[in-house]
């Protein structure tokens, strides 16, 4: 958006329209903190807060002008809290902002005040320590605090602290605090003939209110305009005016240093009030940087310069009836306008140091000099002075900053400071190709690198192609510089030791700069192009750093693997978390560094071992180490035993490695098979085929057994003449005696066929209790003599005889038991129970004989309907339904005769099958409480 305020004049003179009538002329005017004080010739003071201009405070001096004279001048502090009034008779008064009456300062009686320096602390309740310059060249220190106490003066003390030797009036006095120490002060004194600059420490006396500038002036000698011996400081005429003006408090964006202007007969001396050094030489520094503005610089100047005022960058000058505004940087006149006085007297300028507003008044009018961005041209002037840093500070819009940058870059280039110029050019709009050719033509690759880096940082994110091109060029520049430094170091024989160290230091610096560039701008680099550029220069470290920074770990791994640098490759791999990286490179790494690779794989919990099977099998194919050192076995054992992996493919892989190993020892395979279950963890058919293929008999037998194929297991063991193994397998089906006997017979047949005598077969017979001698007889040869196992046959016959006797005894016992049961049944027909006359139903507690009832052998008795009700509560759905149906059938006399008798008999059987207090009904009711909802709890009280 264009700045239309730039077309407006910097200053504009506006008459202030007062909202009230003034009965007498103005004699003085002061403005501070947006408060204006008007002093009238009638000794009347008007106080106007410009925030609320319609409210005017009206204060009259306490005595008539015939007694005290008329107001000669007034002095207002920057906060507008304190006002000093001096009269033509030398009477002085003090008025606080909250007071309605001016108070006489008796200690200052007869003192004609010319200037006042307020405390830098800017207090509001009291003035604190202030300096007063007088007409006779004396400087007083006083402390004013309004007091209501009787006989107590407002000025707590008053002391003369300095007097100029020639007795000239002190037309200006200013005090400010210098940085570094709280008690360090600068004092500026001006007379019509000279300006004095003091720097020193004040002397406080604890919390006592006492003079602090006495020792300051006693111990410090001032620096004056005569100290420099400059010719322009000549003696002014006796009729010349003299004024000291200080610029307003600096704005945040401006320099913290304020400026001063001193009007004398020679002209206007002005300069900056530097803050350093904080020694007595500060005065020399200030005066050395000061300049003289003579009256001749003002066009069409008529009359004398009677008043001046400083803005932040200009000097307001009243020459005759004309107001000039002169730029303090180049003495150019930026404003000129006549003031209409109409026979009245011009009182001079006044400045609001807080709000930076500027005023001029006559005896009957007030004018405001409106300021409109007076700093608008400061950047250009600073640029002309080669003060580029300050020019940047005051440049507000982008084209101004760009102009400053180009000018600074051209200036640095002209001085041969190409690297410094590169940093500046990078922030400017100077043509890219022109800047680059300048550096290339002058052989300045470092400046080119600096320029490209700065330019890249200024390009917008949307300028994708430009960012890619500049960043790619920077890669080329970095590689060329690094190679040049390496070449310089490699030819160290031609260099001095100092040059070699300097080259190495520069190499480290450039390498660090390259790494910083990669980390910051890796997103702007094209991966393929960058790889090609760095590779073409043979910069391995830089290539790997770039690949690592963009997380292209696959490229880094491939790089090290291609060069068979296994340790470096594994260092990269162990820092990864992407499983695909492990799956992709595990095969080649298992071949080059199997143990280290497995160590890394075992630390990764996010891997799927199934995807590593090809790498493990590829390693195992060429491995010639024992199983105890086989890294594939080690990893598979870890994931199975430690991680609890149940993937059949993983288990089958371990079985295949065990089975295919050249060694004939199947202890490891058998140990695995014995500790893991078939089908749920591994494929039994697959394992069996492998074991048969590679001749692992014991493992095959175990697998057959785990599959329940005991006969095949025994048959295989016997086929390989392993009688002991066959015997162990034959004992395994303990829950199936028939199968066990069959297995033992198969083993026995093989044992008898291999034995040389009957004794061996007989001994074998004793190992299984299921085998009898008659089971083994068919296996003996036809020519075997019975005498060889006569004892065993006799023993068998005796065993049969004992078994027959036992069966006979059991039959007799069964016959006796059956006879007893028949007798008990006959006895039941004559069984009875005695019911006492007063016996009650165990459910309703009413007399039992009142209606039909049942009596059980346990002597519990119940009414038939009470019993039925209790049975229905606990009976199932079917039984309850049948009981209700029978009750309904009997009650409505649906059936008669024998059918009714059968229904009654069936109902009695369902209801009275068991006592509800002794049978399973009581067990089912165990969760029912003793006290029901309708019972009285107090009956259970003890």
Q: How many residues does the chain have?
A: 942
**pLDDT of 236:** 54
Pairing of β 172-177 and β 184-190: antiparallel
Confidence of residue 323 (pLDDT cuts 50, 70, 90): very high
Which of 644, 654, 586 is CA-nearest to residue 614? 586
Tens digit of pLDDT for each residue in 547-572? 888 877 788 788 888 888 888 888 88
Are the CB atoms for 916 and 928 separated by under 8 Å? no
Complete edge-to-edge strand list for the sheet that includes strand 155-163: 113-117, 129-134, 138-144, 155-163
* Whether residue 277 has a cis bond before it, omega within 30° of 0: yes
Confidence of residue 4 (pLDDT cuts 50, 70, 90): very low
Tens digit of pLDDT for each residue in 511-546? 898 889 889 988 889 989 998 998 898 888 888 888
Tokens matching residue 711: 């006969």
Tens digit of pLDDT for each residue in 208-232? 889 999 999 999 889 987 755 554 5
**pLDDT of 877:** 82
Please tell me the distance from the alpha carbon of residue 754 to that of residue 723, in angstroms, as a whole number.
Answer: 10
Tens digit of pLDDT for each residue in 726-758? 776 666 666 666 666 676 666 666 666 666 555
Is residue 233 scored above 60 in pLDDT? no
Are the CB atoms for 223 and 284 separated by under 8 Å? yes
Q: Could you write out the DSSP letters of every residue in 556-610? A: HHHHHHHTT-HHHHHHHHTT---HHHHHHHHHHHHHH-HHHHHHHHHT-SS--GG
Among the ranges given (62-66, 359-363, 797-801, 868-872), the one the predictor scored with the smallest mean pLDDT = 797-801
Mean pLDDT of 655-667: 81
Residue 70 CB partners (closer than 8 Å, separation 6+): 27, 41, 43, 87, 88
- 319 forms beta bridges with 305, 322
Q: How many percent of the chain have pLDDT more than 90? A: 31
Please tell me the distance from the alpha carbon of residue 653 to that of residue 636, in angstroms, as a whole number.
Answer: 8
**Average pLDDT along the chain:** 84
The set of long-range contacts for 545-553, using a CB threshold of 8 Å and a minimum separation of 24, is 545/514, 545/515, 545/518, 546/518, 546/522, 549/515, 549/518, 549/519, 549/522, 550/522, 550/525, 552/527, 553/578, 553/581
Are the CB atoms for 126 and 107 separated by under 8 Å? no
Pairing of β 113-117 and β 103-104: unpaired
Pairing of β 71-76 and β 113-117: unpaired
Kind and range of the H or E element at 109? none
Are the CB atoms for 290 and 266 separated by under 8 Å? no
Q: Residue 481: what are its φ and ψ, rounded to 5°?
A: -65, -45
Using the Cα atoms of residue 862, residue 865, residue 868 and residue 873 in order, give the sign of their dihedral: negative
Kind and range of the H or E element at 730? helix 723-730
Tokens matching residue 239: 């009729």
Tokens matching residue 440: 């290339």
Local structure of residue 642 (DSSP, 8 states): I
Among the ranges given (12-16, 266-270, 677-681, 834-838), the one the predictor scored with the smallest mean pLDDT = 677-681
Among the ranges given (217-226, 269-278, 756-765, 822-831), the one the predictor scored with the smallest mean pLDDT = 756-765
Is residue 155 scored above 70 in pLDDT? yes
Please tell me the distance from the alpha carbon of residue 185 to that of residue 275, in angstroms, as a whole number.
Answer: 10
Q: Residue 378: what are its φ and ψ, rounded to 5°?
A: -65, -40
61-78 as b/e, with b when 16 or more CB fall inside 10 Å? bebeeeebbbbbbbbbbb
Among the ranges given (310-314, 435-439, 482-486, 710-714), the one the predictor scored with the smallest mean pLDDT = 710-714
Mean pLDDT of 762-790: 57
Please tell me the distance from the alpha carbon of residue 80 to that of residue 173, in angstroms, as a whole number.
Answer: 18
Q: Could you write out the DSSP letters of every residue in 43-99? A: SEEEEEEGGGTT-EEEEE-SS-HHHH--EEEEEE-TTS-EEEEEETTS-EEEEETT-
pTM for the whole structure = 0.60
Using the Cα atoms of residue 388, residue 389, residue 391 and residue 396 in order, give the sign of their dihedral: positive
Angle between helix 418-425 and helix 445-458 axes, rounded to 10 deg: 20
Report the 10 Å Cβ neighbour count for 253: 9
Mean pLDDT of 764-787: 56
Complete edge-to-edge strand list for the sheet that includes strand 223-224: 172-177, 184-190, 195-201, 223-224
Please tell me the distance from the alpha carbon of residue 174 to that of residue 130, in angstroms, as a whole number.
Answer: 10
Complete edge-to-edge strand list for the sheet that includes strand 243-246: 243-246, 259-263, 268-272, 291-293
Tens digit of pLDDT for each residue in 833-857? 788 888 888 888 888 888 888 888 8
Tens digit of pLDDT for each residue in 107-150? 999 999 999 999 999 998 999 999 999 999 999 999 999 877 65
Kind and range of the H or E element at 240? none
Please tell me the distance from the alpha carbon of residue 400 to that of residue 760, in angstroms, as a whole number.
Answer: 119
């Amino acid at each position: 958006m264009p700045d239309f305020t730039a077309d407006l004049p910097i200053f504009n003179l506006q008459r202030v329209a007062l909202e009230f009538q003034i009965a007498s002329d103005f004699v003085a005017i002061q403005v501070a903190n947006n408060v204006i004080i008007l002093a009238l010739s009638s000794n009347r003071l008007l106080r106007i807060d410009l925030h609320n201009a319609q409210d005017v405070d009206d204060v009259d001096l306490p005595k008539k002008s015939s007694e005290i004279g008329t107001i000669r001048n007034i002095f207002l502090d920057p906060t507008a809290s304190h006002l000093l009034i001096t009269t033509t008779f030398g009477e002085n008064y003090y008025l606080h902002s909250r007071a309605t009456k001016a108070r006489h300062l008796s200690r200052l009686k007869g003192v004609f005040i010319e200037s006042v320096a307020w405390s830098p602390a800017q207090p509001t309740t009291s003035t604190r320590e202030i300096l007063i310059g007088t007409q006779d060249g004396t400087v007083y220190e006083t402390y004013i605090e309004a007091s209501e106490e009787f006989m107590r003066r407002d000025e707590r003390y008053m002391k003369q602290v300095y007097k100029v030797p020639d007795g000239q009036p002190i037309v200006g006095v200013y005090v400010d605090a210098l940085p570094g120490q709280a008690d360090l002060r600068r004092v500026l004194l001006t007379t019509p003939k000279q300006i004095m600059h003091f720097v020193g420490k004040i002397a406080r006396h604890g919390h006592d209110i006492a003079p602090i500038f006495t020792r300051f002036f006693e111990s410090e000698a001032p620096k004056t305009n005569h100290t420099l011996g400059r010719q322009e400081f000549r003696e002014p005429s006796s009729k010349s005016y003299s004024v000291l003006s200080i610029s307003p408090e600096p704005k945040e964006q401006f320099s913290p240093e304020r400026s001063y202007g001193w009007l004398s007969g020679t002209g206007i001396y002005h300069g900056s009030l530097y803050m350093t050094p904080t020694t007595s030489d500060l005065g020399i520094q200030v005066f050395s940087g000061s300049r003289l503005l003579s009256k001749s610089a003002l066009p069409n100047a008529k009359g004398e310069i009677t008043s001046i005022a400083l803005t932040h960058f200009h000097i307001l000058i009243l020459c005759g009836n004309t107001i000039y505004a002169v730029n303090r940087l180049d003495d150019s006149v930026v404003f000129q306008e006549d003031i209409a006085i109409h026979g009245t007297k011009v009182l001079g300028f006044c400045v609001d140091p807080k709000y930076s507003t500027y005023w001029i008044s006559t005896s009957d009018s007030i004018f405001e000099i409106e300021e409109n961005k007076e700093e608008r041209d400061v950047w250009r002037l600073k640029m002309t002075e080669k003060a580029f840093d300050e020019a940047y500070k005051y440049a507000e819009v982008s084209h101004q900053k760009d102009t400053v940058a180009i000018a600074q870059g051209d200036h640095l280039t002209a001085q041969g400071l190409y690297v410094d110029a590169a940093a500046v050019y990078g922030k400017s709009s100077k043509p890219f190709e022109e800047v680059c050719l300048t550096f290339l033509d002058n052989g300045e690759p470092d400046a080119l690198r600096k320029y490209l880096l700065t330019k890249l940082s200024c390009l917008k994110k949307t300028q994708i192609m430009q960012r890619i091109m500049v960043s790619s060029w920077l890669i080329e520049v970095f590689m060329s510089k690094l190679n040049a430094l390496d070449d310089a170091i490699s030819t160290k024989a031609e260099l001095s030791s100092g040059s070699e160290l300097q080259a190495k230091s520069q190499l480290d610096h450039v390498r660090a700069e390259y790494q910083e560039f990669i980390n910051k701008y890796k997103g702007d680099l094209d991966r393929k192009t960058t790889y090609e550029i760095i590779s073409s220069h043979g910069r391995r470290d830089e290539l790997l750093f770039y690949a690592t920074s963009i997380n292209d770990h696959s490229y880094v791994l491939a790089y090290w693997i291609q060069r068979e640098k296994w340790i470096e490759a594994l260092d990269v791999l162990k820092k990864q978390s992407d499983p695909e990286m492990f799956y992709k490179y595990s095969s080649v790494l298992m071949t080059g560094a199997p143990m280290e690779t497995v160590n890394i794989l075992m630390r990764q919990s996010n891997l799927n071992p199934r995807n590593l099977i090809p790498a493990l099998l590829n390693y195992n194919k060429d491995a010639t180490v024992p199983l105890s050192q086989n890294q594939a076995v080690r990893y598979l054992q870890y994931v199975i035993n430690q991680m609890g992996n149940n993937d059949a493919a993983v288990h089958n892989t371990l079985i295949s490695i065990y089975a295919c190993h050249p060694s004939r020892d199947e202890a490891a395979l058998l140990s695995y098979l014995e500790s893991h279950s078939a089908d749920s963890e591994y494929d039994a058919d697959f394992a069996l085929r492998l074991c048969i293929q590679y001749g692992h008999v014991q493992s095959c037998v175990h697998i057959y057994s785990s599959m329940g194929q005991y006969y095949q297991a025994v048959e295989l063991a016997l086929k390989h003449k392993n009688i002991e193994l066959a015997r162990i397998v034959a004992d395994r089906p303990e829950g199936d005696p028939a199968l066990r006997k069959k297995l033992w017979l198969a083993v026995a047949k093989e044992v008898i066929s291999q034995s040389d005598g009957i004794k061996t077969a007989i001994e074998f017979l004793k190992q299984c209790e299921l085998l009898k001698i008659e089971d083994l007889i068919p296996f003996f040869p036809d020519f075997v003599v019975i005498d060889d196992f006569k004892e065993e046959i006799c023993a068998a016959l005796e065993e049969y005889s004992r078994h027959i006797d036992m069966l006979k005894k059991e039959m007799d016992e069964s016959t006796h038991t059956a006879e007893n049961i028949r007798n008990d049944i006959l006895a039941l027909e004559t069984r009875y129970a005695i019911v006492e006359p007063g016996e009650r139903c165990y459910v309703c507690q009413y007399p039992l004989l009142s209606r039909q009832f049942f009596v059980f052998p346990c002597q519990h008795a119940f009414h038939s309907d009470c019993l039925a009700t209790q049975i229905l509560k606990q009976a199932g759905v079917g039984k309850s339904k049948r009981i209700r149906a029978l009750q309904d059938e009997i009650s409505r006399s649906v059936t008669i005769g024998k059918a009714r008798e059968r229904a009654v008999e069936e109902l009695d059987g369902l209801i009275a099958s068991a006592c509800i207090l002794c049978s399973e009904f009581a067990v089912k009711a165990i969760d029912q409480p003793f006290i029901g909802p309708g019972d009285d709890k107090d009956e259970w009280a003890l």
